[in-house]
Amino acid sequence: MTLQQIQYFLKLAQELHFWQTSEKLNISQSSLSRQIKSLEDEIGIKLFERNKRNVALTEAGIFLEKHWGGIIDEFNRIQRQAKKIDEGTSGAISIAYPGSIAFKYLPDLLKKIDSNLPDLKIELTEPTDQNHEKLLLNYQIDISFSRDRILNYGITSLKLYTEPIFLVVPNNHWTTSCSTINFKDLENEKFIISGLNHTTFFASTLRNIFHKHGFEPKQTLESDFGGMILTLVSREMGISILPYSFKFAKSENVTFIDIKENIDLFINWRKKDRNSVIEKVVTYSKIIGKEFY
């Protein structure tokens, strides 16, 4: 029994179709059939009920899919962890970040890192609605910048700074001539914002803002990407709510109006991580954070 055979079994258990599975595994259908038959013969267990039309897991197959699947997930996690440890000695790190910090904070940090660690290889990823806690614990990323603190005994979470949240409108919008704004007066405006059904902290913040002011926004367009939102606002297709960080995008025909709400930025990393580069990046992150706002 080989690891490859188990992986073939798990893929077939997921697809329940020999041709589709062989296509996704990039092997011939006959090779897949031989591998599955060899696995069944070796362990002495029938894994699939199959005929010309259908493929179904046996009860034993269902049991093994559940338990082998967990073992393979753990195997892959350990392998990723070993790779991170090895890369740490040669200088590599993976960073997840919210799009809002891409215009000022993150470029400043990357410049600081490049000045001090010029040979460091950095992989950047911008998950829009993914669990940063899970990505860290699974060793898919090494550092997470997030708008909320991650509460997990295996993760250190540190607040870097607090910044205001702004109403973002076209320059000719009626709010730009007002000394003060009653947020309730925006009830009939068209909003271009992140999906309020998403699980991100910023989506939760938006829900709280609208709930506090007693109305549901009219969403004509929905996007998790602030750069796109700014472009649409500048084209006078609606208004939005975004963190202060987006002011550094320097978009034309947009005005930022303070609505007296704030949001934080946190840096998160695994405790007792053996990648020595992480500690240095955390130090630089704190330095840039003190200079940001």
When pLDDT is cut at 50, 70 and 90, the band that residue 89 belongs to is very low
Q: Which residues pair with 219 in a beta bridge?
A: 191
Query: Does the pLDDT value for residue 110 go beyond 90?
Result: yes
DSSP 196: T
- CATH number of the domain within which 186 lies: 3.40.190.10
pLDDT of residue 87: 57
Count of domains observed in the chain: 3
- CATH number of the domain within which 54 lies: 1.10.10.10
Query: Looking at the structure, do residues 154 and 165 belong to the same domain, yes or no?
Result: no
Query: Looking at the structure, do residues 171 and 219 belong to the same domain, yes or no?
Result: yes
| Spatial distance between the Cα atoms of 264 and 147, rounded to a whole number of angstroms | 6
Query: Does the pLDDT value for residue 130 go beyond 80?
Result: no
Token code pair at residue 129: 């609605």
Token code pair at residue 242: 């975004």
pLDDT of residue 4: 85
Query: Does the pLDDT value for residue 238 go beyond 90?
Result: yes
The arithmetic mean of pLDDT across residues 29-56, rounded, is: 85
Query: Looking at the structure, do residues 111 and 22 belong to the same domain, yes or no?
Result: no
Residue matched to tokens 């939760």: 204
Token code pair at residue 29: 């259908």
Token code pair at residue 205: 């913040």
Q: Determine how many CB atoms are found less than 10 A away from the CB of residue 79.
A: 11
The arithmetic mean of pLDDT across residues 122-127, rounded, is: 90
Percentage of residues in the chain having pLDDT higher than 70: 96
- What domain range is 281 assigned to? 90-160+266-292
Q: Which helix (H) or strand (E) holds 83?
A: helix 59-90
Contacts of 99 (CB under 8 A, 6+ apart): 126, 128, 224, 225, 226, 227
| Spatial distance between the Cα atoms of 184 and 210, rounded to a whole number of angstroms | 9
Query: Looking at the structure, do residues 127 and 184 belong to the same domain, yes or no?
Result: no
Among residues 250, 244, 280, 167, the alpha carbon closest in space to that of 213 is found at 167
| Spatial distance between the Cα atoms of 77 and 68, rounded to a whole number of angstroms | 14
Query: Looking at the structure, do residues 146 and 276 belong to the same domain, yes or no?
Result: yes
**Which of 39, 65, 85 corresponds to the end of one domain?**
85
Looking at every residue in the chain, the average pLDDT score rounds to 88
Query: Does the pLDDT value for residue 247 go beyond 80?
Result: yes
What is the rounded radius of gyration, in angstroms, for the C-alpha atoms of the chain?
Answer: 25
Query: Looking at the structure, do residues 280 and 154 belong to the same domain, yes or no?
Result: yes
Query: Looking at the structure, do residues 141 and 275 belong to the same domain, yes or no?
Result: yes
